Amino acid sequence: MSLLLSSNDALAETLGLRPDSEVLALALTHSSYAAEHHVASNERLEFLGDAVVDLAVADLIVRDYPDLDEGASSVTRSRVVNEASLARAATRLDLARYVRIGKGVVKEQGIERPSLLADTFESVVAALYLERGYEVAKAFVQDALREDIAHASALTDTLDPKTRLRQWAHAHGHEAPVYELFSEGPSHETIFQATVRVGGRVLGSGRAPSKKRAETLAAANAWESRNDA
């Protein structure tokens, strides 16, 4: 048994997809449900949707905020393309009504977990991309996140995350942050995992298709998790 509070009709209408779309149904199938029912989950769609969201947000930033340099643009994107922001977008779309989850997640009342909601948002974006193409998926993402992007871009602290973290480390008597990079996957789909240490402690990590992006995300995460000591 899964938690399925609504048919897909209303969501499909919002997205411009057929109610019986198999791709949409897959996008709304959490791994917990898939494991119990021996069907495919939305995990591969999450992977694709993550890339579409990242590109769509970057596109809007470049087009609508020409005064932001590369560092400020990267900070703005990192403030928007993250679990908390995407979970809020999923909540605004009421995706929790539609996603199929397993008994364990139902029991734990895990349907509102930010990670689950963010992953579902990415999967739905991927379904749009596959069914209707990139331009439609891009427009959907930009409409869903436009206000978040405007807010993030207006924040005064727009230093590049690595610069900001380095300055903070220096101000607190630490050596410069140390980054470690690992890669996985085939050469044409390599994913980089970066961790950053300050004062010997791992403060953040980032995962992205490029070394620079992975380190930037690691620095941004370190900044968010830092303390004042």
Active site residues: 50, 122
Q: Where are the alpha helices (DSSP H) in the chain?
A: 9-15, 22-27, 31-37, 43-64, 70-80, 83-92, 103-107, 114-132, 134-154, 161-171, 211-225
The Cα 15–Cα 55 span in angstroms is 19
Chain centroid to CA 155: 20
Those residues with Cβ within 8 angstroms of residue 169's Cβ, 6 or more apart along the chain or in another chain = 175, 176, 177, 198, 199
Cβ density class 48-62: b for 16+ within 10 Å, e for less: bbbebbbebbbebbe
- The 8-class DSSP code of residue 93 comes to T
The length of the chain in residues reads 229
Q: What are phi and psi of 106, to 5 degrees?
A: -60, -45
Cα angle value 189/191/192 (rounded, 5°):
150
